[in-house]
Amino acid sequence: MAATPPFATDNDHLHAAWQLFDAAVTRLIGPRHDIVVDDLGNRVVTTAPSMYEEMRAELAGRQGTSFGGVARSMPACWIDGVDWFRLVDGTVAIWAPGGTGETPERLEYLLEWAWQPADYLWLRTAAEDIEGWVQEAEQLIAGRNRFEVTAPCPACGASEATHVDSAGEHVRSAALQVSMAGVSCLACGHEWGLQGVMAFAKSLGCTPLDGIDPGNAYDVR
């Protein structure tokens, strides 16, 4: 995010590693830009909050903190969101024990640190870690419309599944997970694509909404 590294260096390894680190930090906590075409056909640059801020807003919405801070039960994918924050915030706090504030402030602090040539490997590894967090966040946000169904799986009969989170604890959730990609069962791994969702709904005994001809509804793609 800084225009120039906070060191005058003739060390190419350090310089290159610092730039990787800077780019990764920007992908996580920097504002995001997109180019959209408006109604008049003009290209307009829009700015969105950082990936980290979007994750925080998403998590706050999932936890229902606006209702007195009491965590509601969350679908399995947002247990993953909680894990994501545990990993990211925990790791950055270890990286920057001298830093203050939250993860974005600590990362800014690290960018300004007086890095030495011997640190280049650390910076490169940290950049890889951050890139991994960004990719995971993208997947979590892409799956935000996922929800779970508390019904037995038509394939294996399980209605609950357990998975092991990043802290090594067993977490129970509904077996059936619905997303924009279709329905999947966490217990047996069976997947129904979007085309199969209407038939799947019928097999659970769901009745079609008023006005939808079931005969046509099953053709929905």
By the criterion CB under 5 A, which residues form the site for Zn ion? Answer: 153, 155-156, 185, 187-188, 190
Report the alpha-carbon distance of residue 127 to residue 53 in Å, rounded.
19
Closer to Zn ion by CB, 9 or 159: give it.
159
Strand partners, 161: 173
Least distance in Å: CB of 186 to Zn ion?
8
Which phi and psi (to 5°) does residue 66 adopt?
-75, -5
Using DSSP bridges, classify how beta strands 191-193 and 160-164 pair: parallel, antiparallel or unpaired. Answer: unpaired
Least distance in Å: CB of 155 to Zn ion?
4
Least distance in Å: CB of 188 to Zn ion?
3
Report the alpha-carbon distance of residue 60 to residue 66 in Å, rounded.
8
Site of tokens 């509601």: 72
Closer to Zn ion by CB, 190 or 202: give it.
190
Rg, Å, the chain Cα set: 22
The letter for the amino acid at 38 is: D
State how far the alpha carbon of 150 is from the alpha carbons of 9, 21, 88, in Å: 59, 43, 31
Closer to Zn ion by CB, 124 or 202: give it.
202
Closer to Zn ion by CB, 26 or 184: give it.
184
Closer to Zn ion by CB, 171 or 188: give it.
188
Q: Do 196 and 202 touch, CB atoms closer than 8 A?
A: no
Least distance in Å: CB of 149 to Zn ion?
12
Least distance in Å: CB of 110 to Zn ion?
45
